[in-house]
Amino acid sequence: MIKDSNTLVNSLIHYGREKLYLSNIDEIHLRNRLLAKFKLEEYFPSDEKANKLDELITSIEQIALHEKLVEEGELETFTTAIMDMISPLPSFVQTTFFDLLHHNSSEEACRFLFNLQVDNDYIKLSKIKLNLFWKANFPNNYLEITINLSKPEKDNKVTAKLAREVSSKYPKCILCYENLGYAGRHDSPPRQNIRLVDFKLGDEDWFMQYSPYQYYEEHVVIIHKKHVNMKIDEQTFIKLCDFVDLFPNYFVGSNASLPIVGGSILNHEHFQGGKHLMPIFASASKYELRKKGYEDCKISYLDWYNSCLKITSSNRDKIIAFASEILAVWNKYRDEEIDLIPYTKEQHNAITPIIRKVNHEYQLYIVLRNNRTNEEHPDGIFHAHRPFHNIKKESIGLIEAMGLFILPGRLKRQFTVIEDILMGKVSQEEAIKLHPDIIIHQEMINTLQKEYGIHNSKQQIKSILEQYINNTCRQILECTAIFKNTPMGDKHFRKFLQAIDLEIIGG
């Protein structure tokens, strides 16, 4: 590690030259800002090489604490401010991005912005690599599962409350454009080193940034410049098409605009996208469908865990028109035999739309959702049911609907204790006394003890727990399906087809 402030200043300047587009004309200006930040009155030049990013961050933290520049709880704000100083200005980023977009390709423009956000420590790849990730294979489909160690677990009731609140804070939420360069506060992380790019979607002002959590490959967030609530209407489909026209290298989708079936931030309109091939994209068709007037659209109902229609066409206007028809019908569609009530005092039916471009054709996925609760299912009729809440209680939003499960980081710690129980190292009662929060897994532990006993190897237990999670995630997605994969579900799906004038080809 770097031992003194002067050496660190030199190393930061070299790193800025190598990774962050620092020009000769700006070097003296940056040096003097860094000297002031580290409270140095003298400067000694050296040929210090640029260190690896993790080493630089650790050195900044150690020197800041040793020189009493900050308190321990202020380290993130301090290091973020330093990385902002050596990063190019937002204007340079915007100009370079659009030069690459217009003269090279959308892939190169996105790669530039993504790499910049990794190199200036906005995206903390070294921490993200600590997340656990695996693929769960099933006969007809697969799911992807990650235990995310950097993402806080959210409560659906808190999400619903925040969606109704009118914020008087500055910035109003962590998605607002005003976070550009913002130092943060006790309830909001520092964002000095974030960089954004602006563009129009549907004649509105939007901007794009990368998610610091990176739940999947090149996970990008596309955000309305105004702090306006989430909504899904005809304009949504236009904006989604506009995005993939600009960035055909990415898919894009929108969370439903309601709690339980939506995401964790409903009071600021945004989409999510990225480079990753989501499991839903590999799903085969269960039924091929057709509709009069949409002969140039290939329509199918997917053999997927939730209820999803897929529309493929090179005709953008037809895609938008057909999606708007489905939305209008679905917003009012009622089938009380399967507990589907579209609205009471508030709206309950919603959709999760996702679109991508493949060989110049639009592929639009429309996942049918409903967020109503009842006495039997107070957390949501079409939500993860109570027996699965020890694994996942949060909203099943856009990302999970596509087959990528982001599970809370607590599971890694809790499952270490459960491993000891299932290997007979400690009794369940003793474990719960030492680790009270594992009581939420009591039913699961009892089931696994009954089936596998308590004399398992560590490797056997890891496999058993992984398989348990795999099956739980599949069952959670099946809970969210409006039309279950049963004869009864099939009957009610066919009834819905009549409401939107769709027919199954060949039966």
**pLDDT tens string 244-280:** 999 999 999 999 999 999 988 999 999 999 999 999 9
| Residue 467 falls inside a structural domain | no
3-state secondary structure of 17: helix
**pLDDT tens string 463-491:** 999 999 999 999 999 999 999 999 999 99
| Residue 20 falls inside a structural domain | yes
Report which of residues 165 and 506 the model is more confident about: 506
- Considering the entire predicted model, what is its pTM? 0.94
Tell me the pairing of strands 197-201 and 503-504.
unpaired
Question: Both 348 and 271 in a single domain?
Answer: yes
The token pair that represents 404 in the structure block: 């990528």
- pLDDT value of position 81: 97
| Residue 138 falls inside a structural domain | yes
Q: What is the C-alpha to C-alpha distance for residues 99 and 114, in angstroms, rounded to an integer? A: 15
The amino acid at 133: F
pLDDT score of 243 more than 60:
yes
Residue 506, phi-psi category: left (phi > 0), alpha (psi -120 to 50), beta (remainder): left
| Residue 149 falls inside a structural domain | yes
Question: Both 220 and 304 in a single domain?
Answer: yes
pLDDT score of 140 more than 70:
yes
Question: Both 154 and 247 in a single domain?
Answer: yes
Q: In what order do the strands lie in the sheet with 142-148?
A: 132-137, 142-148, 404-408
Question: Both 384 and 299 in a single domain?
Answer: yes
- pLDDT value of position 374: 96
Number of residues that make up the chain: 507
| Residue 264 falls inside a structural domain | yes
**Residues paired with 144 in a beta bridge:** 135, 404
Out of 65, 86, 107, a domain closes at 86
Q: Which helix (H) or strand (E) holds 123?
A: none
pLDDT score of 452 more than 90:
yes
Q: What are phi and psi of 11, to 5 degrees?
A: -65, -40
Question: Both 36 and 163 in a single domain?
Answer: no
Report which of residues 58 and 47 the model is more confident about: 58
Total domain count for the chain?
2
Give 441-444 contacts, CB < 8 A, sequence gap 24+: 441/390, 441/414, 443/387, 443/390, 444/390, 444/418, 444/468
Out of 64, 86, 108, a domain closes at 86
Q: What is the C-alpha to C-alpha distance for residues 406 and 413, in angstroms, rounded to an integer? A: 16
Q: Are 35 and 2 in contact (CB under 8 A)?
A: no
The token pair that represents 25 in the structure block: 């004309």
The token pair that represents 231 in the structure block: 């909504």
Per-residue pLDDT band at 376 (split at 50, 70, 90)? very high
Q: Are 100 and 115 in contact (CB under 8 A)?
A: no
Question: Both 397 and 271 in a single domain?
Answer: yes
| Residue 99 falls inside a structural domain | no
Question: Both 50 and 142 in a single domain?
Answer: no
Q: Can you tell me the mean pLDDT for 302-307? A: 98
Q: What are phi and psi of 282, to 5 degrees?
A: -95, 0
- Give the range among 32-36, 182-186, 231-235, 293-297 with minimum mean pLDDT: 182-186
Q: Which residues of 406-434 are buried (b: 16+ CB within 10 A; e: fewer)?
A: bbbbebeebbebbbbbbeeebebeebbee
Q: What percent of the chain has pLDDT over 90?
A: 90
Out of 34, 58, 86, a domain closes at 86
Four-residue CA torsion sign, 7, 9, 11, 13? negative
Question: Both 291 and 233 in a single domain?
Answer: yes
The token pair that represents 470 in the structure block: 């795999």
| Residue 470 falls inside a structural domain | no
- pLDDT value of position 169: 86
- Mean pLDDT of all residues in the chain? 94
Per-residue pLDDT band at 158 (split at 50, 70, 90)? very low
| Residue 115 falls inside a structural domain | no
Q: Are 274 and 208 in contact (CB under 8 A)?
A: no
Query: Cα 159 from chain centroid?
Result: 15
Q: In what order do the strands lie in the sheet with 220-224?
A: 197-201, 204-210, 220-224, 270-274, 251-253, 349-358, 361-370, 308-313, 298-302, 285-290, 503-504
pLDDT score of 159 more than 60:
no
Question: Both 374 and 320 in a single domain?
Answer: yes
Question: Both 207 and 279 in a single domain?
Answer: yes
Question: Both 79 and 137 in a single domain?
Answer: no
Range of the domain at 14: 5-86
Question: Both 166 and 79 in a single domain?
Answer: no
pLDDT score of 333 more than 70:
yes
pLDDT score of 166 more than 90:
no
